[in-house]
Structure 1
Amino acid sequence: MQHNEEQPLSGGNVSAEVVRVGDTVRRPAGPWTPAVHALLTHLHESGFRAAPRPLGIDDQGREVLTFVPGNVVWPARFASMRPARRLARVARLIRDFHDAVQDFTPPSDAQWQVLIPAEGATDEAGIIAHQDLAPWNLVVSEQDDWAFIDWDTAAPGSRLWDVAYAMHGFIPLSAHPDWQCADAGARLRVFADAYGLDEAERRQLVPLLGRRTRSMHDFLRGQAARGNQPWTTLWAGGHGDAWRGDAAYIEQREEHWERVLLAG
């Protein structure tokens, strides 16, 4: 590829107009871009490198980020997340991000792209959360370097808000027969242990698992009712039904999740 040649990047649900140029990625910018770039700069200065580095705005008004080499895990490479040690690595990576972001002070004029108001966003546990820590945003390189991408919806949230969402995707906590796993409880415990959740956090997490998942269904339903894209297309394609089914699956098993998380 020529250094200045634009190569469209596919994958994900909101990838229109995202291109690679040399060792950079160019994406449409928005009012939230300066705050997101401040966040990513802070993460790199704190030693967290599992995220792209911001390089400013190009002459077309697009944000410029370092290109993260590798392949997105979901769906073709999701089997690589099956070993417990790989699941634990995801949890530790998320913990590293949360620890690095804990002392981040957003710019005074920060604007965030808030898609779903997060529980715990305004209390003492509040952080700037990624909001979409999932297999479709985890890139793994041939050298087995891992990084999360798509930070444009980072916004006020909490550690548990991010963790509940990540557990849904990486365990996974799914009602779909192709993805449902018989050892979901054991994998939930692996994730919680690797992240380092204490007993109080585990008790708070259990009901949050279902609420966080159901919030995705409710968000898609609301956006589809307004005709907003790409959410209307996703709703028509059954994504809302999938999130609702997963939420019901999770909620019906809350006692089981609590037992495995709190077992001595």
Structure 2
Amino acid sequence: MVRQLHEAARGYVPAHTEFRFHPYPPRVGEIDSHGDLGPWNTVYRNGLPVAFIDWDAAGPIDPLLDLAAAAWAFVPLAPPEQLREAGFSPVPDVPARLRLFVDAYGLGDRHTILPALHRCKLLAVERINYHPINIAGAADALEHHARELRWLHAAAPAIGRAL
């Protein structure tokens, strides 16, 4: 469905270009997309995704970065201890799942996803500025993203080999 969303968004020109998390209009190559793709914003019918809901974070984004952000949520990408805490037993083969995810999307060069995974986390850090949270909440969010980036840095060689 992510690929379908991106294809539908290509060529769309919004009537207004003010977005909640984006202080700029779409740049060349960007599309307007959901901004928070994940299982929590997906409607399922008979176990299959049929729609995305909750578009309050929509805005312009590079499709590859949007795919990377979706991969963090749908694969999901996380350290094994975090996956266990989330109820995964056994812990899935994250690199293999990521490869399957990008193949299902139809990404031409799988290896382009790895730097995009890093970049989309950095964009998530920038978005903290737009959330109505207190200083402690912002610090927690920064620590969360830092843990994910450290994990990704350590896991990158294995992920790269799997791609």
Deviation at 1:237, TM superposition (A): 8.4
1:164 aligns with 2:74: no
Structure 1 residues 131 and 193: alpha-carbon distance in aligned structure 2, compared to 1, 3 A threshold: same
Number of equivalenced pairs: 156
Query: Paired residue for 1:95?
Result: 3
1:128 aligns with 2:32: yes
1:235-254, CA deviations, whole angstroms, 9 ceiling, x for partnerless residues? 26833322221121112222
Which structure: greater strand fraction? 1
Q: RMSD of the TM alignment (CA)?
A: 2.7
Query: Paired residue for 2:13?
Result: 105
Deviation at 1:233, TM superposition (A): 7.7
- Which structure would you say has the larger RCO, counting Cα contacts within 8 Å and 6 or more residues apart? 2
Q: Supply the AA of the counterpart residue of 1:111.
A: T
Within 2, Cα distance between the matches of 1:143 and 1:122?
A: 36
Deviation at 1:196, TM superposition (A): 0.1
1:113-140, CA deviations, whole angstroms, 9 ceiling, x for partnerless residues? 242579xx523x3211221111221122
Within 1, Cα distance between the matches of 2:136 and 2:22?
A: 16
Query: Following superposition of structure 1 onto structure 2, how do residues 157-236 of structure 1 map, counting pairs within 5 Å?
Result: 157-175=61-79, 177-179=81-83, 181-199=91-109, 202-220=110-128, 222=129, 229=132, 231-232=133-134, 235=137
List alignment gaps of at least 5 residues for structure 2: 85-90
Query: Following superposition of structure 1 onto structure 2, how do residues 64-83 of structure 1 map, counting pairs within 5 Å?
Result: none
Percentage of matched positions with identical amino acids: 29
SS in 1 for 2:51: strand
Q: Which has the larger radius of gyration?
A: 1
Query: Paired residue for 1:258?
Result: 160
Within 2, Cα distance between the matches of 1:213 and 1:194?
A: 22
- 8 Å contact from structure 1 (residues 137, 150) kept in 2: yes
Structure 1 residues 243 and 188: alpha-carbon distance in aligned structure 2, compared to 1, 3 A threshold: same
Question: What is the TM-score of this pair, normalised by structure 1?
Answer: 0.52
Structure 1 residues 101 and 193: alpha-carbon distance in aligned structure 2, compared to 1, 3 A threshold: same
